[in-house]
Amino acid sequence: MNEFLEKEEQIVRMLKTVFDPEIPVNIYDLGLIYKIDLNDDGHLTIDMTLTAPSCPAVDFIVEDVRMKVGSVEGVKSVDVDIVFEPAWDKSMMSEEAQLELGFL
């Protein structure tokens, strides 16, 4: 169990290095990551959303997520699923992100 939590922590650390080019806050603190599921054979599935359905940087962001979390030891393959349920809103951001963007 401890090894699993360590891998998940490494995945989250990598997600915190991914930014929407238009927003100076990482996608994890923005609340865009809905699910992180790493199974025993090393297949990682991430459900994430976007701040807007028509985000022009979606391909860039998804590829950045794939590359960065794919570099975590033990992750053999990565699927990133873009979902819009539940709809994202500002309340999903961490306090740090809200402060950075001037919402607090």
* Residues 9, 13, 17: CA angle, nearest 5 degrees: 165
The band of 72, judged by pLDDT with boundaries at 50, 70 and 90, is very high
Closest CA to 49 of 66, 62, 68: 62
pLDDT above 70: residue 102: yes
pLDDT at residue 55 in the model: 86
Q: How far apart are CA 14 and CA 35, in angstroms?
A: 15
Q: From 3.30.920.30, 3.30.9.10, 3.30.300.130, 1.10.760.10, which CATH number describes the 2-86 domain?
A: 3.30.300.130
In the chain, domain spans: 2-86
pLDDT digits (tens, 9 = 90+) for 83-95: 999 999 999 999 9
> Is-cis flag, bond preceding 86, omega within 30?
yes
Indicate yes or no: pTM above 0.85. Answer: yes
